[in-house]
Structure 1
C-alpha cells in the first residue's frame, strides 16, 4: 500500500476478496500499528500481526539469549529499555518472559540518571531509540533490528501456525513472550536468534504459543 493512514489500511484489509484469516502489516510505527489493529478488530476483520509484534518477540528473545550468555538466568536479569514508547508491548513481554527487573529510560532522564551510570547496575540495555552511546553498555546492548523483515521471516510462519488453529483475535504480550521463549530455546549456542531457515523454529513457536491457548481454554472451563 502507498499510504500510512491506519483507517485506510484497515479498511482495505477488511475488504480483501476473498477474505483472509491473517494479515501481516509491515512498515508502520508503533502508534499506526496499534491503530490498524484496533480498526480491523472493530470492523470484524482478520487477525493482524504487525512488524512491531515480531520485532518485539525478537528483541525479547535476543535479551534472554544475551542474559544466558552472560551467565544470568532471566529471572535474575536486570534490563533497561531506552525509548519504551517505540515498542509498547516490549515491557509486558519481557515481564511474561520471566525477566526479573525492567526499567524504562528516556533521553530526558540523562541529566539525573546518565545511561552509562545506570548500566553499571544493570545487565542488558535494549536501545529502541537508537541514542545510546557505544560506551554505555558495550557488549550488552540489544539494538532495534536494522532489517525487521528478517525477523518477520523467522517469526511469522510459526505465529500463523500457532494462532490460526485457536481462532485467536489478538497478538498479546503472553503470545509474544511464548514466541520469544521458543526463539531463545532454538537459538544455537553463541547466537541470539536461530536462522530463518531453521526447521525447528515453526514447531517450537507453535508448541510454546499453543500452551498459552491451552491454559486459557482450561481456565475458562473452570470459571
Structure 2
C-alpha cells in the first residue's frame, strides 16, 4: 500500500462514498507502515536486550538490562495497539470495498451517510464472512475468466482465515468483533489482510475506469 493515493475515475461513486473510501484506505496505508515499523522496533529491542543480558550475567548492577526489558514491554504494548487498529480498519476496508463493488455491479443507488458509517466501522466476523463469500462473477461482471478465478482463489484463502478466527472464540457464532473478543496476539498475520484490502480497492478502480471508457 502506498500512502494517500489519488484515486482516478471516482465519478461512479457519490462524493461521500469516494471520501469514505479514500479516508479508510489512507488509514490502512498508514497503519500498514506503522505495523512494519513496530515489528522492526520490537526485533531491535529484543536484540539489544539479549546483548545486555549476556553482558550483565552475574554482575551486581542490571540497570541496562532492566531498562531494555521495560522498553520491550512498552514496545509489545504498542505493537498490539497498532495490530488492533490495523485489524479494525483493514477488515472494514474489505467489507466496504466489497459493498461498493457489489453496488457498482448491480447499478443500485449510492449508500446513505448512515450506511457509510456502518460500512466503515469494524465489522462482525459474520459480516466479514458474508463479504468474502461474494464470488468474483458477481462483483466483477465483464472481467476475464482468469481474473475472476484468481480473485476467487484469493478470496477463499481469506475466508479460511475468518473461519479460523471464528473458532478462537468460545461463543461459536460469528456475530462478534475480533478486537472486542481476542487479544491482538491472536489475530495472526495481518499482511494478507492489507494485501486483500489493497486488491479490492485496486479492482474497484479498474472496474470504474473501464466503465468510464464505455
TM-score by length of 2: 0.24
User: Going by fraction, where is strand more abundant, 1 or 2?
Assistant: 1
Give me the TM-score of the superposition, normalised by structure 1. Answer: 0.23
By percentage of residues, which structure has more helix? 2
